[in-house]
Amino acid sequence: MKIKELPEKTLKRLIIYLKVLENLDKQNIDFISSEDLAKRCGVNSAQLRKDLSFVGSLGTKGVGYSIRSLKFRLKNFLGRTREWNLILGGVTPLGIFLLENTNLQKEGFYFLAAFDINEENIGKIYNGISVYSLDQLSYILNVIKVDIGVIATDENPHLYLKAFTDQKIKAILNLSKIPLFLEDPEIRIENFSFLIALTKLSYFLKEIKDEN
Amino acid sequence: MKIKELPEKTLKRLIIYLKVLENLDKQNIDFISSEDLAKRCGVNSAQLRKDLSFVGSLGTKGVGYSIRSLKFRLKNFLGRTREWNLILGGVTPLGIFLLENTNLQKEGFYFLAAFDINEENIGKIYNGISVYSLDQLSYILNVIKVDIGVIATDENPHLYLKAFTDQKIKAILNLSKIPLFLEDPEIRIENFSFLIALTKLSYFLKEIKDEN
DNA sequence: AAGTGTGAACTTTTTCACAGCT
DNA sequence: AGCTGTGAAAAAGTTCACACTT
């Protein structure tokens, strides 16, 4: 099926290409060259063509890429032509923000339920999504099919991770400030926090200061 | 000053090491081997030692690393022993979440002001932080010194980027769904969105499905 | 004439393996 | 005896450059 494993960095760039193509499509542009698209994505054109070659042979020699068609092929390749069901672990301000965020729904990511371990949060409803006790997870999963578990609390993220993976959830978005890792290659964890992003910037700023 | 440019991936891992060390320090553990720390960070021990060698010679042969001391050295290296001043562009739900989030303050990132282009948001105050018109940016910057600009709106992120960089802000955290790029190597942009993280997971899930 | 797709060359990053310090 | 720090080897990722298609 796959000829060669897709490099992580290529995956990240493909996602960017898709987003940039979606914006170009809105502007009613039909065709684009690798040169032009690459510039808009902050990479060079050879890189872009090599990255796209993982997806297939998508362009027309002498012409370039059809924006609409490339967008569709990329979207499909990235698993974004279908919808995915999510659950939330941790009804924090960040968690509530995600439940109430309609943007993710527009992109095909649907929160179906939220879970918490604090009694006072259980039974609440945000944007039509109910909060259950984490103990009830396996019971609820009899009724709904879940693809991705999102952890949004700094208080015991491991607890949610264990509950989710025990229930055979294979994809985890960890937004807690504690990075999480598992040996199991069957389970994919994406660790992200604002703090990581801000620290990259603080390193950069410190470096430019030290140079002067 | 720098002997060799720090690879982007090394930077990302150093940030993870720091976070994991902070947690170990809370548990009152004194020393750790590269083997043990590496396992907790999802990398191998040679990788960890090589990464740390960019920071300096930090361990004791035959013994390992002092958690407290390594933590401090890393924190310093990453520019996290000082405080950084932030401004927000775009008073969206995500933006308001960030203004009200006290975690970032605890880690040394302080929002000093927020800016918006919509009349109805201007003059509001969140967590003691005032919202100004984006037009007033240069005026406000006479009074405060800003290190990082955070863009938190999908509506005209380019406008905020231009305003920020025109005012010589060198570090940008872009949380809009539109990735932003600049040629200028003096300016660092971190693009992040939940959508990117979720798309990585959707690709992974699609792949494991396709294999069966 | 223009621009893709891709082997081959090059560069960077990771892993190995061990000398050397405690 | 144990574990770091690091050259050297291996692997992975990027860029070049051009044959080939439209």
Count CB pairs under 8 A between chains A and B. Answer: 179
Identify the helix (H) or strand (E) that includes residue B122.
Answer: none
For the cut 60, the answer to whether the pLDDT of residue A100 exceeds it is: yes
Query: Sorting pLDDT into bands at 50, 70 and 90, what band is A2?
Result: very low
Using the structure, give the distance in angstroms from the CA atom of B43 to the C1' atom of D8, rounded to a whole number.
21
Please give the share of chain A, as a percent, with pLDDT higher than 70: 98
Averaged pLDDT for residues B15-34 = 95
The mean pLDDT of B20-25, rounded to a whole number, is 96
Asked if A194 lies within 8 A of B207 by C-beta distance, the reply is: no
Mean pLDDT, chain A, as a whole number?
Answer: 95
Q: Which of A104, A195, A200 sits opposite B194 (nearest CB)?
A: A104
For residues B189 and B181, the answer to whether their CB atoms sit within 8 Å is yes
The residues near A199 (Cβ < 8 Å, ≥ 6 apart) are: B15, B18, B78, B79, B80
Nearest nt to the CA of B63 via C1' is D3
- Whether the CB-CB separation of A179 and B16 falls below 8 Å is answered with yes
**pLDDT of residue A3 exceeding 60:** no
What is the per-residue pLDDT for B155? 93
Residue B89 contacts residue B149 (beta carbons within 8 Å): yes
* Among candidates A97, A172, A177 on the partner chain, residue whose Cβ is nearest the Cβ of B19: A177
Task: Extract long-range pairs of A67-71: CB within 8 Å, 24+ residues apart.
Answer: A67/A21, A67/A24, A67/A25, A67/A29, A67/A30, A67/A31, A67/A32, A68/A25, A68/A30, A70/A21, A71/A18, A71/A21, A71/A22, A71/A25
The top-level CATH class assigned to B84-196 is alpha beta
Distance in angstroms (rounded) separating the CA atoms of residues B115 and B122: 8
Nucleotide nearest A45, CA–C1', reads D15
Q: What is the pLDDT of residue A171?
A: 98
Nearest to B29 by CA among B66, B59, B70: B66
Rounded CA gap, B155 and B153, in Å?
5
CB A44 within 7 Å, strand C: no
Instruction: Name beta bridge partners: B115.
Output: B89, B132
Choose among B173, B14, B185, B20: nearest CA to A179: B20
- Tell me the C-alpha distance between A143 and A88, whole Å: 16
Which position has the higher pLDDT, A84 or B210? A84
Spatial distance between the Cα atoms of A154 and A114, rounded to a whole number of angstroms: 16
Q: Give B212's pLDDT tier (boundaries 50, 70, 90).
A: low
Q: Which residue of A has its CA nearest to B195?
A: A104
Q: Are strands A129-133 and A109-116 parallel, antiparallel or unpaired?
A: parallel
pLDDT at A1 over 50: no
Q: What is the distance between the alpha carbons of residues B145 and A205, in angstroms, rounded to a whole number? A: 14
Compute the average pLDDT of residues A183-206.
95
State pLDDT tens for residues B37-49: 999 999 999 999 9
What is the dihedral sign for C-alpha A127, A132, A138, A140? Answer: negative
Residue B122's contacts (CB-CB under 8 Å, 6 or more residues apart) are: B116, B131, B132, B133
Q: Is B63 near strand C, with its CB below 7 A from some atom of it? A: yes
Please tell me the distance from the alpha carbon of residue A6 to that of residue A55, in angstroms, as a whole number: 9
| pLDDT tens digits, A55-87 | 999 999 999 999 999 999 999 999 999 999 999
Domain ranges of chain A: 3-77, 84-196
Q: What is the pLDDT of residues B106-164, one digit of tens each?
A: 999 999 999 999 999 999 999 999 999 999 999 999 999 999 999 999 999 999 999 99
Over residues B171-207, the pLDDT tens digits come to: 999 999 999 999 899 999 999 999 999 999 999 999 9
**Radius of gyration of chain B measured on its C-alpha atoms:** 20
At the topology level of CATH, where does A3-77 sit? Arc Repressor Mutant, subunit A (1.10.10)
The pLDDT assigned to B47 comes to 98
- pLDDT greater than 90 at residue B3: no
Q: What is the mean pLDDT of residues A29-33?
A: 95
Please give the average per-residue pLDDT across B2-23, as a whole number.
90
Compute the distance between CA of residue B157 and CA of residue B180 in angstroms, rounded to an integer: 8
Name the residue with tokens 């294999």: B211
Radius of gyration of chain A from its Cα atoms, rounded to whole angstroms:
20
Give the residue-averaged pLDDT of A185-189: 94
pLDDT tens-digit readout, B61-105: 999 999 999 999 999 999 999 999 999 999 999 999 999 999 999
How far does the CA of A114 sit from the C1' of C9, in Å? 52
Full-prediction pTM beyond 0.85? yes
Mean pLDDT of A104-127: 98
How far is it, in rounded angstroms, from Cα B65 to Cα B53? 13
Same fold, B3-77 and B84-196: no
What average pLDDT score do residues A1-13 get? 80
Q: Residue A172: in which H helix or E strand, if any?
A: strand A171-174
> With bands split at pLDDT 50, 70 and 90, how would you rate the model's confidence at A4?
low
Q: Is B133 helix (H, G, I), strand (E, B) or coil?
A: strand
